[in-house]
Structure 1
């Protein structure tokens, strides 16, 4: 494969060069189309951070027929199922997606209710792709009369600085847009990649099964010119599960594309979706909501401290942790995660951390527990072994919440695998409601009555979102001393 040459671009130059559109007219058109959709929208989220744009929707942490049926029965058109598949090996995620797809098809058939299926993935392109959407396609097509014409790829996520321009996906660092293939995310030991051009990324990840040449590209020029019929026509011509790349640098771009998409769906086309969090908000018709206040999150003063758990190892998380450590009111405990290679010593280390957390939280002090910042490196071709060790470390962090006997004032979890395991295994949540965001792209669950700490504010802080200050600012809001 010949990779398209890419280079950094000045963000302001890109944004300022695009023509403006009548946003209120776009909103009106989208609302008209959404009223006619008539489908239940199901989002399969590969870690809990995918709810970082929505509010007032349910997240189910299992995929039993009962939970899926409950989601279908809700008045809201959209619900999430947390798969946490980014923390699984390939064979596990394939099995999980086959099971989920079968059960969705059965419930939809029982209720005679059409549905739309979104695979919510990472905005920096990490994850089990194309395995997950290919598995969904095969299973749904084998069990129903649905035939998917194509797959829409839309990794735009404004809150995190992820933009697609000229078919190249960018991550914003300061004032620059850096091609995704040149970032630390592309060097991920489990989910790494080379190409920033999304057509070539598809070709790379699919081993040539789908090519850049056969990919359909929805351009910003067409979007900003409001060529909705032209875009709908492009979608009408997609067949054989070929891919559709959507360029976007603003929510209005996603909305304009969605209008064309909804018209294509109404004409009988069928698509699967691999998107970041922005598309779920738009297609779910979810309104904007101001960031949450402390008063909305802390229902009662318990006299106990908060609990912050940091597992993510991306550079941004490490920088945010360093800034948080400048807050003298927080007590910090390092968990020596490298002891995972020595099980007895690792268990003793976890016991030490749990005992100290219990003591400090009960006395009213807020505690931040963080794993060692250096990643374990087992050498070449050891990605699955390293992923398993990361799961073992996450289990240890989760056990802190499992073993607590005192209820913290709030809980923050930093990182996708960490936040999923704490929510499902530590807090034992089966269904949560997304309250909104405490900072842009930083969602908060309100836990259900079945959970270990019912109604607690559980902040799910993605590893790669925010500025250096955002974690500290989030904690200070919850502590009652932060400025919004």
Structure 2
């Protein structure tokens, strides 16, 4: 068993950087490939639509950042490319109309799943077309709150057995986004099919950050050209804030950067500190009543958290059977039955609508994505029908793609504000500000974070006990 302390042995200690030291700079626009990237911040606007008017609204909000939920992790590569370009074209028009400078972050999974380099290539092409050629693509997947750290360019994930190289985790065996490499320089080479070699990648290590400081790191960044990939170590928030300071120095001198990041980067970049999780007292402002929990994630941790919720009690579960959902003749009736039963249950307790736990995959990555989309679409239909029949006091969505699809299709959320977290540094609560769901607290709960009791803890918090 390896602990974080062993990974850091012999390295310089972290340099303390106060969040208030990170000020100014261009507006950070985060294109989030599922909605879980908001889980480290508070009071930041979120858009699930990207019309020029929506983006202008987002750029006008305070805080120095906004999220645009693209949900591209659920799309095939060509569709992800098209969506990124569509968003960036609208963003360029919105920023010009508002007179706002901006930088773009492509937010993806801290366990390295997602369309890389497809998304950063598309964004870099489009930025160049809008007169913003990219000098470097900065890759920062670290998410210390969730136990994902990068040391000597190797990305690690915390598991019950200790720290494990990312390439040896269940996430690396993902049917669509799997990979082998834990060293980020080698991971870039692997994901680019050898177009970029490990030696082509600039590595900024903890020794650079902690030993050299922001000025040294800014000088390293100032030398990148022609979209050179840059992979960055980080093991705590101070490392990320030091990086943010260096990035702002480099950008102020004219270096144009594009980011591929995990959730923790955003908090550091906009100078926010980790806030205490929202508790029952804070949630009372949203009223009381029974809620709806929608579960689509299939990772082992989600299944364990469902077991923890059962132990809490006060819930009834309703299963969407995946083979039935894939049968066109049976699909509609099955969804209608589950929705009606869940709506009736919310009059007496919290209701869970979940997909069956056996993962069904296709013949290849695109086929597996198509199955995942079909199942997610059915879950969304079930949620939409349920909330029409009985408005819940709160909604929890478990799983990244699930959270995105439920927000847009199930609840009709177009604009929202993040209000904080439900767990330390993880699990975001959104307050919708438009549409029929305005004011209903919506919890975006990734499939791969928290312990076995985390889901039960979130639901218990809404019970105001």
Q: Flag whether TM exceeds 0.5 (same fold).
A: yes
CA distance in 2, matches of 1:305, 1:227: 50
CA distance in 1, matches of 2:362, 2:105: 34
The residue number in structure 2 matching 1:265 is 251
User: How many Å apart are 1:191 and its aligned residue?
Assistant: 0.7
User: What TM-score do you get using the length of structure 1 for normalisation?
Assistant: 0.92
1:254 equivalent to 2:247? Answer no
Q: Which of 447, 462, 466 is residue 446 of structure 2 equivalent to?
A: 462
After superposing the two structures, state which structure 1 stretch, 267-276 or 329-338, moved more: 329-338
CA distance in 2, matches of 1:276, 1:437: 16
User: Secondary structure, in 3 states, of the residue corresponding to 1:433?
Assistant: strand
1:369 equivalent to 2:353? Answer yes
| 1:382-423 per-position Cα deviation (integer Å, ceiling 9, x unaligned) | 221221121111111111221132111111110011111111
Contact 2:21 / 2:271 at 8 angstroms: preserved in 1? Answer: no
The residue number in structure 2 matching 1:423 is 407
CA distance in 1, matches of 2:105, 2:279: 30
CA distance in 1, matches of 2:22, 2:290: 47
Query: 1:64-83 alignment to 2 at 5 Å?
Result: 64-83=51-70
CA distance in 1, matches of 2:283, 2:376: 26
After superposing the two structures, state which structure 1 stretch, 50-59 or 175-184, moved more: 175-184
Residue 197 and residue 16 in structure 1: after superposition, are their counterparts in 2 closer, same or farther (change >3 A)? closer
After superposing the two structures, state which structure 1 stretch, 171-180 or 237-246, moved more: 171-180
User: How many Å apart are 1:345 and its aligned residue?
Assistant: 1.5
CA distance in 1, matches of 2:310, 2:438: 29
Q: Which of 447, 457, 460 is residue 473 of structure 1 equivalent to?
A: 457
The residue number in structure 2 matching 1:4 is none
Query: 1:3-402 alignment to 2 at 5 Å?
Result: 9-15=2-8, 17-23=10-16, 26-27=17-18, 31-32=20-21, 34-35=23-24, 37=25, 39-144=26-131, 146-174=132-160, 176-299=162-285, 301-302=287-288, 304-361=289-346, 363-379=347-363, 382-402=364-384
Equivalenced residue count is 462
User: What TM-score do you get using the length of structure 2 for normalisation?
Assistant: 0.96
CA distance in 1, matches of 2:160, 2:285: 36
Contact 1:298 / 1:409 at 8 angstroms: preserved in 2? Answer: no
CA distance in 1, matches of 2:10, 2:28: 34
Contact 1:154 / 1:276 at 8 angstroms: preserved in 2? Answer: yes
Residue 166 and residue 349 in structure 1: after superposition, are their counterparts in 2 closer, same or farther (change >3 A)? same
User: How many Å apart are 1:346 and its aligned residue?
Assistant: 2.2
User: How many Å apart are 1:74 and its aligned residue?
Assistant: 2.2
User: Secondary structure, in 3 states, of the residue corresponding to 2:200?
Assistant: coil
User: Secondary structure, in 3 states, of the residue corresponding to 1:413?
Assistant: strand
CA distance in 1, matches of 2:211, 2:55: 40
User: How many Å apart are 1:139 and its aligned residue?
Assistant: 0.9
Residue 175 and residue 226 in structure 1: after superposition, are their counterparts in 2 closer, same or farther (change >3 A)? farther
User: How many Å apart are 1:377 and its aligned residue?
Assistant: 2.8
User: How many Å apart are 1:457 and its aligned residue?
Assistant: 1.0
User: Secondary structure, in 3 states, of the residue corresponding to 1:200?
Assistant: helix
Contact 1:298 / 1:457 at 8 angstroms: preserved in 2? Answer: no
Contact 2:361 / 2:367 at 8 angstroms: preserved in 1? Answer: no
User: Secondary structure, in 3 states, of the residue corresponding to 2:312?
Assistant: coil
User: Secondary structure, in 3 states, of the residue corresponding to 2:40?
Assistant: coil
User: How many Å apart are 1:207 and its aligned residue?
Assistant: 1.2
User: How many Å apart are 1:68 and its aligned residue?
Assistant: 1.0
Contact 2:297 / 2:447 at 8 angstroms: preserved in 1? Answer: yes
The residue number in structure 1 matching 2:395 is 411
